[in-house]
């Protein structure tokens, strides 16, 4: 697959973010009269479009690390990979617990919370969308 040139939107590298996290504040109607609603006080998120080259890294996965590239590829094979049963609450909860354990071990984390799961299926049927509580199966 050839390289693809594109543009992505990134958070700008502002001095403000060294002392304050970016935020977007949306006051409720009853608060609008009590707070400063000028755009500068409600939204400190500044984004800019940057040119990027998107490369197919298949076969070169080992060349990319989280520390160097900001991402990495990892192999994760869940115990239950039968996603046709994903509508079952028990199946989803088991999958999310297994994902949490994998990420805790991978990043040596104290805690990981997987609060939802999404499964994308490739199927020949068009417009196949199922919505479940805390799980989405989409296709094709």
In this structure, the answer to whether residues 62 and 87 fall within a common structural domain is no
Q: Which domain holds residue 10?
A: 1-73
How many structural domains comprise the chain?
2
pLDDT at 139 over 70: no
Give backbone dihedrals phi and psi of 90, rounded to 5 degrees, phi first.
-65, -40
Would you say 83 and 121 are in contact if contact means Cβ atoms under 8 Å apart?
Answer: yes
More confident residue, 41 or 57: 57
- Average of pLDDT values for 66-90? 83
In this structure, the answer to whether residues 139 and 83 fall within a common structural domain is yes
In this structure, the answer to whether residues 65 and 20 fall within a common structural domain is yes
pLDDT at 27 over 60: yes
In this structure, the answer to whether residues 5 and 55 fall within a common structural domain is yes
Sheet holding 128-132, edge to edge: 117-120, 135-139, 128-132
DSSP letter at 87 equals T
Mean pLDDT over each residue of the chain, to the nearest integer: 81
Q: What percent of the chain has pLDDT over 70?
A: 82
Tell me the per-residue pLDDT of 101-131, one tens digit each, with 9 for 90 and over: 999 999 999 999 998 887 766 554 444 444 4
Give the model's pLDDT for residue 132. 40
This prediction's pTM: 0.53
pLDDT at 137 over 60: no
In this structure, the answer to whether residues 108 and 58 fall within a common structural domain is no
């Amino acid at each position: 697959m050839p390289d693809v040139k594109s543009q992505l939107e990134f958070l700008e590298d502002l001095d403000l973010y060294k002392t304050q996290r970016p935020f977007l504040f949306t006051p409720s109607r009853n608060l609008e009269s009590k707070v400063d609603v000028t755009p500068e006080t409600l939204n400190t998120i500044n984004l800019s479009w940057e040119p990027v080259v998107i490369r197919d890294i298949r076969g070169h996965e080992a060349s990319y690390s989280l520390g160097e590239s900001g991402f990495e590829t990892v192999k994760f094979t869940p115990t239950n990979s039968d996603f046709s049963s994903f509508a079952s609450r028990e199946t989803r909860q088991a999958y999310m617990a297994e994902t949490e354990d994998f990420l805790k071990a991978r990043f040596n984390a104290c805690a990981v919370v997987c609060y939802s799961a999404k499964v994308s299926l490739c199927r020949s049927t068009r417009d196949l969308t199922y919505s479940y509580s805390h799980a989405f199966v989409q296709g094709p």
